[in-house]
Chain A
Amino acid sequence: MRLLLVEDDAAIQSFLKRTLSEAGYQVDTAGDAKTGELRALEGVHDAFIIDLGLPDMDGLNLIARCRAQGSSTPVLILSARRSVDERVRGLEQGGDDYLTKPFALAELLARLRNLLRRASPAHSDPIRLETADLQLDLVRREARRGEHLLPLTAQEFSLLEYLCRNAGRVVTRTMILDHVWRTRIDPATNVVDVHIYRLRNKVDPHGSAPLIHTIRGVGYVLKHA
């Protein structure tokens, strides 16, 4: 997978390039919209990551210019503005996505994966998910640990399903709120942690190998040891 990163802040550009490379992507970079446009039109990238505050042009204009020249590559927008511009909302409906700075790297990677998956047509929804001895039946909405049926509430099942879909990858509290509760709020209290705590009590009973792990300062990951 080859990405184009258009970001003028050298520090952000360098750490994003490092992170994305470590995650297995090939990354090209551009420091301004003009270079970005030239590279984008080469047509070799699977996704663009574009910062809105570029020195020579608004990032949205850059996207508009690329679209006008026939590029349909999905775009992940990075924005320092807190209140999301209506134009960005419009783009979101068009299949692109945005992230406001500062963001957790886990979230950046998750959104990028989403974007790439949406762009590739050969994608089917699974009806079963498995991690180690944890099995989720998405049709009957039942979860089993080994042979044991887990007594989960609907909410807890949704939460576990989200963790399973992202098994092996870190998800942040914001991502959990966004996907499980469909709300973009920043709670000052440990609302999500209590849900995870309760879920963990059911999924990882005493004596079994724990599957749900806390990554301090970032979020949670479901993985086998």
Chain B
Amino acid sequence: MRKILPTTASWRISIWTTLAFALGTGLAFGIVYLLVAHTIRDRSDAWLSGEAEVLAEVSAHTPKDHLYNRIVREVAELATRELPDERNSRGQKLNSVFFLEEDDGNESPLWIGPGSESPFLTAIQGARLTQAPQSISVEGWPTSFRVVARQVAGPGKTVYLGLSNRGDRHVLHRLTDRFLLVWGGTVILGFLIAYTSARRTLLRVEHITETVARIGSEDLSERLPASVRRDEIARLANTFNLMLDRIQFSVNQLRAVTDAVAHDLKSPVTSIRGTLESALCTEPNENWRDSVGEAIEGLDRLLDLLNTTLDLAEAQAGALRLDRTAVDLSSLTQQLIGLYQPVMCERGHDMKAELEAHVFVNGDSALLNRVVSNLLENEMIHLPHGCRINVQLRSQEELAELVVEDNGPGFPPEIGAHAVERFVKGKSSPGHGFGLAFVDAVVKAHGGSVKISDRPTGGAVITLSLPLRVLQPA
């Protein structure tokens, strides 16, 4: 259902476009109109001035006898006929030219023109006419007259020649009428074209809006149809699709996290609850303490899981704040190997370390401690009894390289290159799949990288590369 309401963007766009168009063309016409009016006036004025000159000349050189009036009248009438007759639709003669010769004496003026001379005489005497043509209005005539005056050489005579502006006005009127007709037509046509094209374009936007609204409320996997066109709206649709991809990825990720955390939380909560419940139901004895202790241990594991999840989320969101200092990776690793050596022995692993001394990196000591301990824990959790673990630390060019390799079963094939992704773990792995993801996130925050591979002879290799600390010249 199309709503054509003044509130739609297409309506607004076409209104404004049309307005601008109409104003622009109107302005252009105004300029043309002024030019034309000016030209017409110039031409009339040139004619008036020329004729008045001739008539004044004639008047001056004609002997003042009884033929004088007749001669002047003849010449004046000839002059008035010089203009082409313009007639209106009813056949009335449009150009009205008058000639008036005024004498200072009491002699009645010589008058050639339409009707009686008296209103003209009054109008002329009212206006102070000069050599330059001037417009005066005459009583009883709807349009003004353009009049020019000439002094006749000789005894105080003046000749006036006047031309009605009616013809000029008629030409300009016709010009205006035609313009308005054409202008109206083009404005309406322009509006229709602007509206249709805006409507068509915006309908595509409308379509995107509807689809996105539906995706937002129903199915996140739906996508906007790809357009063959490569214009802005196609790009908009593309951008939306990319954004939807990311949102869907995040939602899936979040769902996976929530599921995994919920799953991992349920078992300790169940066991804690069970332990406490059975402790409550038995008589207080020495076992009671054990049960409470067991419950606290369960809570600690739960807390550990929560902390690791949150740490990982923070690390992967790039929100880790590194408190960088010069960290001696050699002694840090040595210390942790010392810490883990007994428990490795306990599990029958043979752990050897080849650590280059004084390998310094510029990093967060607490986080790097956790990175190395995570690597060692990872080995311990995943290796079957009685494996060999080799830890090497060396500096290479500008990198500190920490390599942990073992002769265990290697990474399960279903993990492959995804071992550092959150929650990726082998089917039979007892961990919760955070360890290496956290290592990866922290190492990346330090500007390093983690490489994971299987040894050709069997076993896994994890290689950490961290930028070496650059020594400041003293």
Render B328-366 as a binary contact track against A, CB cut-off 8 A, 1 for contact: 000000011011101101100000000000000000001
* B residues in contact with A184, CB < 8 Å: 366, 369
Render B364-401 as a binary contact track against A, CB cut-off 8 A, 1 for contact: 00100110010001001100000000000000000000
Contact between A82 and B377 (Cβ–Cβ < 8 Å)? Answer: no
A67 → B minimal CB distance (Å): 23
Asked if A189 meets B343 with Cβ closer than 8 Å, knowing A86-B323, A182-B335, the reply is yes
Contact between B304 and A217 (Cβ–Cβ < 8 Å)? Answer: no
The size of the chain A interface, using a CB distance under 8 A, is: 25
Asked if A189 meets B342 with Cβ closer than 8 Å, knowing A89-B323, A216-B290, A216-B297, the reply is no
Which of A83, A191, A195 touches B314 (beta carbons < 8 Å)?
A: A83
Which of A155, A186, A198 touches B304 (beta carbons < 8 Å)?
A: A186
Contact between B343 and A194 (Cβ–Cβ < 8 Å)? Answer: yes
Contact between A216 and B289 (Cβ–Cβ < 8 Å)? Answer: yes
Instruction: Identify the closest chain A residue to B371 (Cβ).
Output: A185
B11 → A minimal CB distance (Å): 53
Contact between A189 and B321 (Cβ–Cβ < 8 Å)? Answer: no
Which of A83, A191, A216 touches B293 (beta carbons < 8 Å)?
A: A216
Give Cα A182–Cα B308 distance, bound, in whole angstroms: 20
Q: Is A218 an interface residue (CB 8 A)?
A: yes
Which of B292, B307, B343 touches A190 (beta carbons < 8 Å)?
A: B343
Q: Is A188 an interface residue (CB 8 A)?
A: yes
Asked if A189 meets B381 with Cβ closer than 8 Å, knowing A83-B321, A184-B369, the reply is yes
B306 → A minimal CB distance (Å): 9
Q: Is A121 an interface residue (CB 8 A)?
A: no
A158 → B minimal CB distance (Å): 10
Q: Is B311 an interface residue (CB 8 A)?
A: yes
A225 → B minimal CB distance (Å): 16
Chain B, interface size category, equals: 35 or more
Q: Is B466 an interface residue (CB 8 A)?
A: no
Give Cα A182–Cα B328 distance, bound, in whole angstroms: 14
Q: Is B310 an interface residue (CB 8 A)?
A: yes
Contact between A188 and B377 (Cβ–Cβ < 8 Å)? Answer: yes
Give Cα A175–Cα B212 distance, bound, in whole angstroms: 54
In chain A, residues 133-189, which have Cβ atoms closer than 8 Å to a Cβ of chain B?
Answer: 155, 177, 181-189
* A residues in contact with B307, CB < 8 Å: 82, 186
Most buried by B among A82, A181, A183, A198: A183
Render B170-202 as a binary contact track against A, CB cut-off 8 A, 1 for contact: 000000000000000000000000000000000
Instruction: Identify the closest chain A residue to B343 (Cβ).
Output: A194
Give Cα A26–Cα B103 distance, bound, in whole angstroms: 132
A51 → B minimal CB distance (Å): 18
Render A100-119 as a binary contact track against B, CB cut-off 8 A, 1 for contact: 00100000000000000000
Give Cα A102–Cα B299 distance, bound, in whole angstroms: 10
Instruction: Identify the closest chain B residue to A154 (Cβ).
Output: B338
* A residues in contact with B269, CB < 8 Å: none
* A residues in contact with B373, CB < 8 Å: 183, 185, 187
Q: Is B294 an interface residue (CB 8 A)?
A: yes
Q: Is B203 an interface residue (CB 8 A)?
A: no
A93 → B minimal CB distance (Å): 12
* A residues in contact with B377, CB < 8 Å: 187-189
Most buried by B among A155, A182, A195, A216: A216
Which of B294, B339, B369, B370 touches A216 (beta carbons < 8 Å)?
A: B294
Give Cα A183–Cα B327 distance, bound, in whole angstroms: 13
* A residues in contact with B296, CB < 8 Å: 216-218
* B residues in contact with A215, CB < 8 Å: 293
* A residues in contact with B297, CB < 8 Å: 216-217
A98 → B minimal CB distance (Å): 13
In chain B, residues 106-147, which have Cβ atoms closer than 8 Å to a Cβ of chain A?
Answer: none
A180 → B minimal CB distance (Å): 9
Give Cα A177–Cα B343 distance, bound, in whole angstroms: 14
Give Cα A184–Cα B290 distance, bound, in whole angstroms: 27
Q: Is B419 an interface residue (CB 8 A)?
A: no
Give Cα A215–Cα B300 distance, bound, in whole angstroms: 14
* B residues in contact with A218, CB < 8 Å: 293, 296
* B residues in contact with A102, CB < 8 Å: 303
B221 → A minimal CB distance (Å): 35
Contact between A194 and B342 (Cβ–Cβ < 8 Å)? Answer: yes
Which of B289, B293, B370, B380 touches A185 (beta carbons < 8 Å)?
A: B370
- What are 18 residue pairs bridging A and B, where the CB atoms are less than 8 Å apart in the complex? A83-B321, A155-B338, A177-B339, A183-B335, A183-B336, A183-B366, A184-B369, A185-B369, A186-B307, A188-B301, A188-B431, A189-B377, A189-B380, A191-B339, A191-B340, A195-B339, A216-B294, A217-B300
Given contacts A82-B307, A217-B295, list 8 more A-B pairs with CB under 8 A.
Answer: A82-B311, A185-B369, A185-B370, A216-B289, A216-B296, A217-B300, A218-B293, A218-B296
**Residues of chain A whose beta carbon lies under 8 Å from any beta carbon of chain B:** 82-83, 86, 89, 102, 155, 177, 181-191, 194-195, 198, 215-218
